Chains A and B, each alone.
Chain A
């Protein structure tokens, strides 16, 4: 199970990086979203997956899922939601102000 999840995370990373290297702003944002999903999946996998077990450590439960990765990705997901929405707003404003959403045309020149 862990192997399959790792491969899935790898696929997400690949697709994310591919999108990140495009010129269109919206595609780049989709790329960052995919990469962050890959990272979250990765954290979850790294704490070992135990299907059907609750993430609770109690005295009489023997088989439990590690709760820490879940706490970590919860935090990380919230952050990535926030940043993605900020990035969408920013890309919208940037493309409106500069008249283009092509990163190639958004290079700087001296003294401006």
Chain B
């Protein structure tokens, strides 16, 4: 049954390649993409169930036993994130035909979309640091394709910066792997962890850890390294923005979570203490950024940054509660960021502009859209009973357990700023006098509403049904606190 671990990578990969064969027959390719996304989600859900019942599935490709070959590890953490990825993917694939122009759809949107899903799933599942780099490249290549889809002036201008910053951090990643290889002589994550444990993490290993932190921090848009993020994310179509906002930075955070809960855990006064400060600065600067602009798309793009800060805070706390808070927040944030990007995309499409100063009274024309925005603003800011609340509560609890009061206060304060930044859109864009100049386009609005409602359903379910989900997420937190389990499941001594 170990071949199961490869399926979430292989199915979208093949689906994407096949989609390229009939990319001009839009009707067929749309239905094909929707069906395959659903099938893939089903398969992933089954694997998650299987892993939940029987423990991690480890695929040693080509029958090369663990430290020598390439391993794929499907454990609870990675499969939960892959399932969330696929839920986001379902919403995006049903939203895509309404939002993309015919030209964009014909130019291989569906191929790039599937390759992106494949790359993201691969990055979550791989158990090998070099393959993490390879899957990073797979998903980045797909994202380069997606970001220039349509070839407009703004897109080309912003994509240059996006490609360059990612290319540079990838090269830094390869260099860091080279350093690590020269010190520990392996790229298999479990074996690295074992060997780092044997030597109790000397100074050079901590340096390598910090270098890796900078690589992943660039991908995840952490404090000094986030400046590249907001503009390239709003340049492409809303569906693509949603995929980026939901998935790409989260892969960076996942890598940090994996590496700093498994490998570099022996010099915590240096590394994890440093993370807490970076997390605090990320929270502050991200939420200020979100308040700095009148462009509704940019507000949502800036909101990615404080969310990443929250997740990093959980990693820095280094206790079981902190880790479960990070995982919960990851799942919550992937869903709500996708929903918010789709929502502002719909608003910008229906109002004809993304400038907040020119939008008013939209709720009179589109009441359902307005209230959905209201709910997602609450989810984002963490108002009970929605999922953001549970995630933040667990993280704050972790901060209290670790005696880090300042970060808890900063987290709470920035939540208020986040709420302010999204409520500003609701109050000024949706509320207020009716704008008579807009002719409501109910047909288009209906098409936009379904996928967003689908995502919001999960968001509310995660919050209201926290009792059902929390135990398994808590067990992931415990699992991350005990890296021996991971090492044993791969190396099998």
Known: A32-B164, A108-B158, A111-B295. A98 touches B153 (CB 8 A): yes
B177 beta carbon closer than 8 Å to chain A: yes
Verify B151–A43 contact, CB threshold 8 A. Answer: no
Taking a contact as CB atoms under 8 Å apart, the answer to whether B144 and A86 are in contact is yes
Query: Which residues of A are found within 8 Å of B174, using beta-carbon distances?
Result: 36, 39-40, 42-43, 76
Tell me if B163 and A87 are in contact (CB < 8 A).
yes
Using known A-B contacts A83-B167, A86-B163, determine if residue A72 contacts B175 with beta carbons closer than 8 Å. Answer: no
Interface of B is mostly: helix
- Whether the pair A46, B157 counts as a contact (CB closer than 8 A) is no
When C-beta atoms are compared, the residue in chain B nearest to A96 turns out to be B156
Chain A residues, CB < 8 A from B79:
none
- Whether the pair B168, A47 counts as a contact (CB closer than 8 A) is no
Roughly how many angstroms separate A112 CA and B156 CA in the complex, as a whole number?
13
- In the docked arrangement, what's the CA distance between A82 and B168, Å? 14
10 pairs of A and B residues whose beta carbons are closest in the complex: A46-B182, A94-B156, A43-B178, A39-B174, A46-B178, A42-B178, A111-B355, A39-B175, A79-B137, A106-B157
Per-residue contact bits, chain A 68-112, to B (CB 8 Å; 1 contact, 0 not): 110010011001101100110011011001100001001010111
Are the C-beta atoms of A39 and B163 separated by less than 8 Å?
A: no
Contact with A along B139-176 (1 / 0, CB 8 A): 00100100010011110111111011001101110110
Q: 26 A-B residue contacts at CB 8 Å?
A: A32-B171, A35-B168, A35-B171, A36-B167, A36-B171, A39-B178, A42-B175, A43-B178, A43-B181, A68-B187, A72-B177, A72-B187, A76-B133, A76-B174, A80-B171, A87-B164, A87-B167, A90-B156, A90-B160, A97-B152, A97-B153, A97-B156, A97-B157, A106-B157, A111-B354, A111-B355
A107 to chain B, nearest CB (A): 8
| In the complex with contacts A68-B187, A110-B294, A32-B167 CB distance below 8 A | yes
In A13-40, the 8 Å CB interface with B consists of 20, 25, 28, 32, 35-36, 38-40
Contact B134 A79 (CB under 8 A): yes
Q: Complex formed: what's the CA distance from A103 to B158 in Å?
A: 11
List A contacts of B294 (CB < 8 A): 110-111
Residue of B nearest to A25 (CB): B160
Q: How distant is the Cα of A20 from the Cα of B367 in the complex, in angstroms?
A: 49
Check B293 against A110 for contact (C-beta < 8 Å). Answer: yes
Report the bound CA distance from A69 to B171 in whole Å. 15
Question: In angstroms, how far is the closest chain B Cβ from the Cβ of A95?
Answer: 9
Residues of B within 8 A of A (CB): 130, 133-134, 137, 141, 144, 148, 151-154, 156-161, 163-164, 167-168, 170-172, 174-175, 177-179, 181-182, 187, 231, 293-295, 353-355
Most-contacted residue by chain A among B134, B154, B159, B174 (CB, 10 A): B174
Q: Is the CB of B141 within 8 A of A47?
A: no
Residues of A at the B interface (CB closer than 8 Å) are 20, 25, 28, 32, 35-36, 38-40, 42-43, 45-47, 68-69, 72, 75-76, 79-80, 82-83, 86-87, 90-91, 93-94, 97-98, 103, 106, 108, 110-112
Contact assessment for A106 and B177 in the assembled complex, using a CB-CB cutoff below 8 Å: no
Shortest Cβ distance from A11 into chain B, in angstroms? 14
User: B158's closest neighbor in chain A, by CB?
Assistant: A108
Cβ–Cβ < 8 Å partners of A93 in chain B: 148, 151, 156
User: Are B171 and A39 in contact, with the CB atoms below 8 A?
Assistant: yes
Chain A residues near B172 (CB, 8 Å)?
Answer: 39
Complex alpha-carbon distance, A69 and B175, angstroms = 12
Is the Cβ of B159 less than 8 Å from the Cβ of A90? yes
Q: Are B151 and A97 in contact, CB atoms less than 8 angstroms apart?
A: yes
Taking a contact as CB atoms under 8 Å apart, the answer to whether B355 and A98 are in contact is no
Q: A97-B157, A106-B160 are in contact. List 6 more A-B contacts (CB 8 A).
A: A39-B178, A46-B182, A75-B130, A75-B134, A79-B170, A83-B144
Interface SS of chain A: helix, strand, loop or mixed?
helix
B141, A83: Cβ atoms under 8 Å? yes
Contact status B160-A47, CB under 8 Å: no
Question: Are B168 and A94 touching (Cβ within 8 A)?
Answer: no
Residues of B within 8 A of A91 (CB): 160
Minimum CB distance partner of B157 in chain A: A106
A82 CB contacts on chain B under 8 angstroms: 141
Which chain A residues lie closer than 8 Å to B144 at the CB level? 83, 86, 90
Residue numbers in B under 8 Å from A108 (CB-CB): 154, 157-158, 231
In the complex, A80→B134 CA distance in Å? 11
The interface residues of chain A lying within 8 Å CB-to-CB of B130 are 72, 75
Tell whether, in the assembled complex, residue B181 and residue A46 are in contact, meaning their CB atoms are under 8 Å apart.
Answer: yes
A83 CA / B265 CA spacing, docked (Å): 34
Which residues of B are found within 8 Å of A110, using beta-carbon distances? Answer: 293-295
Chain B's closest residue to A107 (CB) is: B157
In angstroms, Cα B178 to Cα A72, docked, is: 10
Contact among A40, A47, A76 for B181, CB-based, below 8 A: A47
When distances are taken between beta carbons in the complex, the residues of chain A under 8 Å from B161 are 106
Closest B residue to A36 using CB positions:
B171
B236 to chain A, nearest CB (A): 14
A90 near B163 (CB under 8 angstroms)?
A: yes
Tell me the smallest distance from the CB of A35 to a CB of chain B, in Å: 5
Q: A94, B141: Cβ atoms under 8 Å?
A: no
**For the complex, what is the distance from the CA of A69 to the CA of B134, rounded to whole Å?**
14
Does A94 lie within 8 Å of B182, measured CB to CB?
no
Distance between Cα atoms of A97 and B150 in the complex (Å): 12
List the B residue with the shortest CB-CB distance to A28: B164
How far is A32 from B172 in the complex, measured between Cα atoms in Å?
A: 11
> Smallest CB-CB separation from B159: which chain A residue?
A90
A98 touches B181 (CB 8 A): no
Instruction: For residue A50, give the distance in angstroms from its CB to the closest CB of chain B.
Output: 15
Cβ contact of B177, chosen from A25, A43, A103, A111, cutoff 8 A:
A43
